Amino acid sequence: MTRNNSTDCDRRSFMVIIGFGAALLALSAWPRAAGAQTAGSAPLKIGMIGSGREGGALGTALVKAGHPVMFSSRHPEELKSLVDSLGPLAKAGTVAQAIEFGDVVMIVVPYGAMQEIGRDYAAALAKKTLVVDVSNPIARRDGADLVKAIDEQGGAGLATAKMLPGAHLVRAFNAIGSAKIAADAHRAGGLVGVPIAGDDPNAIAIASGLIREIGFEPVLIGGLAKGKYLVPGTPLGGEHSPAEIRTIAASLS
Ligand SMILES: NC(=O)c1ccc[n+]([C@@H]2O[C@H](COP(=O)([O-])OP(=O)(O)OC[C@H]3O[C@@H](n4cnc5c(N)ncnc54)[C@H](OP(=O)(O)O)[C@@H]3O)[C@@H](O)[C@H]2O)c1
């Protein structure tokens, strides 16, 4: 982390240290704080906004871990074969129904849709204990102008927070390909790491528990400002061991 001698910077550094201390405490308290809500005891209800390649793969992994999942689409009837194949824990609904259903909501949409989701659902999403942002701004899909605008706001973490005010956000799974979710889960010989970024200790703890349950090791790399590194094409993109993620993250400003 770059340092200077200004009072503002000292205060900011202090707050970051306090924030990370709180996050670490929350992580160590995971079995108490959030474990009570996991599949081992009371499952968490999960609403998926976006049930395409990545949302479908993540929702499938969560169902297999024992959580009830509502997959959503603007055309929910198209999700019938997916939910039928997953059994009674899987349901299909509209985006509004999935948000209503979920204790936790995962947003797995082309990043260009985030503005609309914020406009229509920010108030409802702010009431959830955790909103996982898996969505990435990608120029070839979302347009170079959108990517530039997101970069100017500090990257995807801070930009999502601006579009979803009040949401307890964690960025995660942004650069693990959909096919790898099932293939890499519970990898023998060492779990694959999932770098995550967030500012809310309780949301981080819940996200970390879910990531562990589906067979990966969460690695907190920093606050939402670090979410800009959780996109494909950065050093953290692709698959890494937890130790590799820590080493790479330490080199990022
Ligand atoms: N594919 C991967 O391997 C991968 C890996 C990591 C991260 N990601 C990120 O995950 C996000 C989704 O990628 P994908 O590959 O899963 O895309 P995809 O297969 O095209 O699926 C996109 C999903 O987003 C939904 N959606 C689109 N616009 C929406 C809107 N305005 N409101 C609500 N839902 C909307 C679509 O629902 P409808 O049925 O309503 O169209 C669809 O379920 C992207 O940001 C991507 O960068 C993808």
Residues 189-227 have pLDDT tens digits of 999 999 999 999 999 999 999 999 999 999 999 999 999
From the CB of 119, is ligand 1 less than 6 Å away?
no
Ligand 1 pocket check for 71: Cβ under 6 Å: no
Average pLDDT over residues 23-31: 42
Instruction: State whether the beta carbon of 59 lies less than 6 angstroms from ligand 1.
Output: no
Average pLDDT over residues 144-155: 97
- Which residues, 6 or more positions from 180, have their beta carbon under 8 angstroms from its beta carbon? 192, 239
User: Nearest-CA neighbor of 6 among 62, 163, 14?
Assistant: 14
Cα 93 to middle of ligand 1, angstroms:
16
CB of 48 sitting under 6 A from ligand 1: no
Q: Is there an atom of ligand 1 within 6 Å of 73 CB?
A: yes
- The per-residue pLDDT for 21 is 47
Percent of the chain with pLDDT over 70: 84
Q: Whose CA is nearest to atom 17 of ligand 1?
A: 52
Instruction: Supply the mean pLDDT for the chain.
Output: 88
pLDDT given at position 39: 41
The whole-number pLDDT of residue 33 equals 34
Residue 49's closest CA among 164, 159, 204? 164
**Least confident interval from 22-31, 86-95, 96-105:** 22-31
Q: Tokens at residue 50, please?
A: 């976006």
Contact between 184 and 239 under an 8 Å Cβ cutoff? The reply is yes
55 Cβ inside 6 Å of ligand 1:
yes
- Could you tell which of 48, 53, 164, 230 is best to mutate to test the pocket of ligand 1, judged by most ligand atoms within 8 Å of the CB? 53
> What residues contact 179, with CB distance under 8 A and at least 6 apart?
57
Q: What one-letter code names the amino acid at 163?
A: M
* Ligand 1 atom nearest residue 138's Cα: 47
Rounded distance between C-alpha atoms, residue 191 and residue 212, angstroms = 9
pLDDT band at 253 (very low <50, low <70, confident <90, very high): confident
Is the CB of residue 60 below 6 angstroms from any atom belonging to ligand 1? no
Compute, in angstroms, the gap from residue 112 CA to the centroid of ligand 1: 10
CB 135 near ligand 1, within 6 Å: yes
